[in-house]
Amino acid sequence: MLIGYARVSTADQNPEHQTDALARAGVDPANIYLDHASGAKASRPELDKALASANRAGDQLVITRLDRLGRSVLHLVTLGASLRERGVGLRVLEQGIDTTTAEGRAMFGMLSVLAELQRELIVANTRDGLAAARARGRTGGRRPKLTPDQAHHAQQLYDAGTHTVQRIADLLQVPRSTIYGHLNKASIGRRPTAKATLEA
């Protein structure tokens, strides 16, 4: 069975070019699924329905162009692999790809290589960026919510036993979890207890 899928980015775009092309390719209009969503949007309910309908070996998912189907090269390759595992073909009308043929499978193989290269480049660029930041004295991750002076002050108040963690958090206008994150772990639970009730 042929299952068609089309996508337009906004409600203002006309999907007829795609649906007409799918119908000319032999897809029954009742089996054409249409999403109104951007390519980057993860949730595409009609695509989910189309993929669920193409569930038998010998079925074929038909689209007009690859960019109508996947959010990225990696997403396309993942979808292609999932279809192939179920024995479902993928046919791309305007780009002449048909994974039921040797040529079509070779094309998807090349896409797999490109997807892996893309992933490795992202990892390498991230690693290089972090290394450059460290060389300039910056570290990765979120910046601490307390300055070094504030963290030192919070520790002094805590060690003195005159303020609860909640009171310190209120004074510095941060959540209690932030205070706990900056306290010396060895001091937690070891501060003087005699004064602890002064500002409970």
Given a contact cutoff of 8 angstroms between Cβ atoms, the answer to whether 77 and 115 are in contact is yes
43 catalytic? Reply is no
**Dihedral sign for Cα atoms in the order 33, 34, 38, 42:** negative
- Buried/exposed 101-134: b ≥16 CB within 10 Å, e otherwise: eeebbebbeebbeebeeeeeeeeeeeeeeeeeee
How many angstroms separate the CA atoms of 185 and 191, rounded? 12
Catalytic residue among 9, 38, 177, 187: 9
The set of catalytic residues is 9
